[in-house]
Structure formats: C-alpha cells, structure tokens
Amino acid sequence: MAQVLTNADNPPPVPLDAEHAAVLKTLQAQSGPAFDRAYILGQITGHQELLQIQQGYLDNTNRSTDTQHIAVLARMSIQQHLVMLQEIQQMLG
C-alpha cells in the first residue's frame, strides 16, 4: 500500500509513535508462545485500528474515485488479514 500511495519503489518506514514503540518494547521482552500470542494480539489490534481508519476514509465522500477505489482495496486486504490473524489466535489458544 505504501508503494502505491507514495509512488516509490521502497518507501521508508514510518517512525513509531509512543504507543507502538511501547508495543515493540513489550514484544522484545517476550519469547516462545508468550511472544506468539502477544504478537498476534498486537497485529489484530493494529488491523482493527486500520480498518476503522479505512472505513472513516470511505465514509467521507469528498474523495476522488481513484482514492476511493484504493481505500476499498485496502479495506478488503485488512479484513482478509484480520480473518487470518484471528484463525492463528485460535490455534495459539
């Protein structure tokens, strides 16, 4: 998505904000199954946040057709990832 939105082959990563830096620090302190569960939970939370952002963007009708189409594709991808993450979470227990 970043490549499409920035029109750059390798867009630089966005710096972490304080909330996401804290999540990373928590993950770095985990190992084994505890890491797996914490990682998947963090991914689910992040994807849920992204889904809300995309829906908010789509609810704003003052957008170009192209950006609306990109947002629809992004929403679909995020929803698919959430399903996969939730399945992994169930497998981890």
Q: Residues 55, 79: contact at Cβ < 8 Å?
A: no
DSSP string, 21-46: HHHHHHHHT--HHHHHHHHHHHHHHH
What is this structure's pTM? 0.82
The confidence score (pLDDT) of residue 85 equals 98
The answer, yes or no, to whether residue 87 has pLDDT greater than 80, is yes
- Mean pLDDT, rounded, for 40-60: 92
Q: How confident is the model at residue 93 (pLDDT cuts 50, 70, 90)?
A: confident
| Segment 12-35, tens digit of pLDDT | 888 999 999 999 999 999 999 999
